Amino acid sequence: MLNVTSLQCIRGDRSLFQDLSFELSAGELMHLVGHNGSGKTTLLRTLAALAEPAAGTVAWDGKSIDDLQEEYTGNVLYIGHKNAIKDDLTAIENLQIACVLDGSPVAEDHVWQALAKIGLKGFEDLPTRVLSQGQKRRVSLARLLLSKTRLWILDEPFVALDKAAVSLLQQVLREHIEAGGMAIITTHQDVELITDQVKCLELGWKKQGRV
Amino acid sequence: MMKVFITVLRRDLLLAMRRKSDFTSTLFFFVVVVSLFPLAIGPELETLRLIAPGIVWVAALLASMLALDHIFSSDYIDGTLEQMLLTPQPLTMLVLAKIIAHWLITGLPLVLIAPVLGLQYDLSLQAIGILVLGLLLGTPALSLIGAIGAALTLGLRGGGILVSLLVLPLTIPVLIFGAGAVEAGVSGLGAEGHLYLLSAMLVMSLFLAPLATAIALRVALE
């Protein structure tokens, strides 16, 4: 369970949000919405322990993530704006290395299956620099299929994906939530997050629909 | 844990194999700088023997400065470095693996080519031996110390110049004792003292540099 208490984040000299509190328990998905510059990415990076909050605490199963450190990061999968894949390595190599680093090495067969499932059959052993933007995103998101982590933090996961990939990703998310996982995602696209347990958190000071 | 260490090491070596220009350019720079001096100074063997250790060491230092940019920047740009911070592995371990890979790619070739370059300067076999041994101890220390600077200047504009300014003062002792070892050995004083000091610097930087680099990376990526 993730507990956030009176969190404040400052970017430059501007306070993005303050006194932000929420909790997320197993089997829940949180949809983070807010206009550009409202601090969505900053919040996600703070939750992933990449950035320090100016005030407040983030707790995982009752313990502060500052104390847990690597014990916490082992439970989290964060996919940000960058795909985090090496252009000179193949999709297979990229995913295998990522899995070893995540602490759960997988057999090569599994990686092939995951790539086939995400629609990259035939592209597995090409260097990823020859892939298109959307295909690179798919390689990056294939980690979700291989990951055993409980909390997924996804920053705009649907960017550059086609419709088929979006619906596949929705299904993967749903399965993860139904299996008792947690997820926090941001997206500007009109994507329906089809699970029963969706929380919505709105950041920012502008009303929705205003420029 | 060992598996993770080896995975990162292999990954970086594999990447270097796929993109050879990174390490060939360092080696090329080293060879060119060292080879130009005998041409410019003239074939006076006495002078050449005298200046050889200094030139080889200065060139090795500058070459390793030149290579520093590659150690973290490409991982930083494509986001894989960020992911390394998010793994349940100790970051110092990953950093150490990256530094060792970096040395194998950019440092070791310099050590291996040094005897050939030493011949251009008419160095004796003994002097070449000491030079290579010194480089073998000194260049890893240069990579380790340099990694701190590279991590600190990650993502800054004009980081290349800044990293040299930050790191060069710290590497001066390695330069002095590295070049001094050869002179001491040739003059009959014995190079042991210098080499021991180089080893001490290597051990100390092996212990402290990954820690400092890991902290610097966390700051740089915040």
CATH number, domain at A22? 3.40.50.300
Domain membership of residue A12 (yes or no) is yes
Of residues A76, A81, A97, nearest to B11 (C-beta): A97
Give the number of other Cβ atoms within 10 Å of residue A109's Cβ: 8
Q: Is A81 within the bounds of a domain?
A: no
Residue B111 binned pLDDT confidence (cut-offs 50, 70, 90): very high
Q: Which domain holds residue A132?
A: 86-144
Q: What is the pLDDT of residues B38-59, one digit of tens each?
A: 889 888 888 888 899 999 999 9
Q: What is the mean pLDDT of residues B187-199?
A: 90
Mean pLDDT of A120-139: 91
Mean pLDDT for the stretch of residues B174-187: 91
Residues A132, A156: one domain?
Answer: no
The 3 state secondary structure assigned to chain B is CHHHHHHHHHHHHHHHHHCCHHHHHHHHHHHHHHHHHHHHHCCCHHHHHHHHHHHHHHHHHHHHHHHHHHHHHHHHHHCHHHHHHCCCCCHHHHHHHHHHHHHHHHHHHHHHHHHHHHHHCCCCHHHHHHHHHHHHHHHHHHHHHHHHHHHHCCCCCCHHHHHHHHHHHHHHHHHHHHHHHHHHHHCCCCCHHHHHHHHHHHHHHHHHHHHHHHHHHHHHHC
Q: Is the pLDDT of residue A210 over 80?
A: no
Instruction: Classify residue A64: in a domain, yes or no.
Output: yes
Nearest chain A residue to B18 by CA distance is A88
Q: Is this prediction's pTM over 0.95?
A: no
In this structure, the answer to whether residues A94 and A114 fall within a common structural domain is yes
For chain A, give the mean pLDDT: 87
My answer on whether A105 and A45 are in the same domain is: no
Pick from B18, B84, B87: CB nearest A103: B87
A88 interaction partners in chain B (CB closer than 8 Å): 15, 18-19
A68 and A154 belong to one structural domain:
yes
Query: Above 70 in pLDDT, residue A172?
Result: yes
Contact B18 A80 (CB under 8 A): no
Lowest mean pLDDT among A46-55, B124-133, B152-161: B152-161
A18, A37: one domain: yes
Q: Which of A86-100, A193-207, B127-141 has the lowest mean pLDDT?
A: A193-207
User: End of a domain among A108, A129, A144?
Assistant: A144
Distance from CA of B129 to the nearest CA of A (A): 38
Domain count, chain A: 2
When mean pLDDT is compared over A162-171, A195-204, B125-134, the highest value belongs to B125-134
Residue A127 at interface with chain B, using a CB cutoff of 8 Å: yes
Q: What is the mean pLDDT of chain B?
A: 91
Let me know whether A156 and A70 are in one domain. yes
In a domain? residue A132 = yes
pLDDT at position B157, please? 79
Name the band, by pLDDT with cuts 50, 70 and 90, for residue A194: low
Same structural domain, A2 and A60: yes
Interface predicted TM-score (ipTM) of this complex, two decimals: 0.87
> Is the Cβ of A70 closer than 8 Å to some Cβ of chain B?
yes
pLDDT at B174 over 90: yes
Q: What helix, strand, coil percent values describe chain A, rounded to 5?
A: 35, 25, 40
- Which is higher by pLDDT, A189 or A160? A160
Chain B positions in Cβ-Cβ contact with residue A126 (cut-off 8 Å): none
